[in-house]
Amino acid sequence: MKSKLRKGVPILQKNQLNVIELFAGVGGFRLGLEQANKDLFKTVWANQWEPSRKEQHAFNCYNARFQEGIASNEDITKVTNETFIDLKPDLLVGGFPCQDYSVARSLSGEAGLQGKKGVLFWEIARILDQTQPKYVLLENVDRLLKSPSKQRGRDFAVMLATFRDLNYSVEWRVVNAADYGFAQRRRRVFIFAYKNDIAFDDSQRKHSQQDLIYKEGYFAKTFPVKEEPYKERVSSTRLPEDVVDISDLFSYNFQTSGIMQDGEVTTIHTQPIEMKPVTLGEILQDEETVPEEFYLSETQAEKFAYLRGPKKIERTSADGHSYTFSEGGMSPTDELNKPGRTMLTSEGTTNRSTHVVEVNGRKRFLTPLECERLNGFEDHWTEGMPNRMRYFCMGNALVVGLIKKMGERIEEIEKTNAKKEVQLNLSI
């Protein structure tokens, strides 16, 4: 077992939440929660394992940056139930892969369901089943809501039904970080689940599902939205009781915001109340500190001019069919008075999606430090690994400031829960 115990697993104290962090990367969830309240959020166990890589750069970075709890560098599917039970988690967090979440009846028909092997969401479900934490906070790409393309919404519906069967209610929201004041136009879906028998659930059930989405819910108070939907996109449905029926037959158009309680779903395409974002120009480091290696050569500049320009290319498919591939043009360089575009794992390569900035008449890549700033990490957070991996890790990371906001909302919920528990004890 490749785990690293620093100062032991913190013992749960009053006003402390034990946190398990899965698919931890370089620690964006943990950093954001600790920025919200380091005394409240105590990460007792975190897992980061990249099976295809001999050198575990992300794990090494995580392990170097955080000094408490257990940092695990092992296959999550091989971690025992007892390990998680002993941790007594209150909050599970993670940015899990977008995969195929279809399920089937087991061969006996009696032993439950079988999901596809290697699908890591089922590891989340296993841990929740064994430990029943109060809260769950997850992140994924926004296409999760519409996958797979041939049965839209199926995968997300399977997830919602799994939470329902584990006695959780769920809110979700697609958030563009730039809409709420951050430096990157990065859209991700966040999923917040909470146990049905806690005080927060009692308070939520006093409101309609639409009120929760617009004003009273977890995300509404964290990332405010206008009280009218985009293009009247509001709908409701009830999930089938049998998850296998969902996997085989169910299709639904989930919008950017929604809630599920006891299988009842309301979903709305909400519109953010936008904040002024940080611009790309504001996060650039002093030009005198940028090494020469990040400036484009004449050949690279010409290549980017082609990649970012409009084009029509005649191509032939594998079956011999001829077609025209068309691609619209984009600005030759990224505008410094706007937030950055979504950063991908290919950042820093000669690729159409890579940021190119022009400063003092010279074009260059973003530096790894600037990519850290785009995601809200501390300067030099990923220092020590090759630049290619620094770009890759930031392309996989989330915007830390969003997690800070979400952590602050969980802190508010905990304070409300504590007051209700005191009132309940006084009335007994």
The catalytic residue positions are: 98
Cα separation, 307 vs 333, in Å, equals: 11
Which amino acid is residue 120, in one-letter code? L
Tell me which residue of 79, 66, 64, 27 sits closest to 48, measured CA to CA.
27
For residues 122 and 50, the answer to whether their CB atoms sit within 8 Å is no
Q: What is the DSSP string of 138-198?
A: EEEEGGGGG-STTSTTHHHHHHHHHHHHTTEEEEEEEEEGGGBT-SB--EEEEEEEEETTS
Cα separation, 33 vs 143, in Å, equals: 25
Helix %, strand %, coil % for the chain, to 5?
A: 35, 25, 40
Distance of alpha carbon 126 from the chain centroid: 19
Contacts of 354 (CB under 8 A, 6+ apart): 304, 346, 347, 348, 365
- For residue 288, the 8-state DSSP code is G
Q: Which residues pair with 265 in a beta bridge?
A: 237, 260
302: exposed, middle or buried (Cβ count in 10 Å: 0-12, 13-18, 19+): exposed
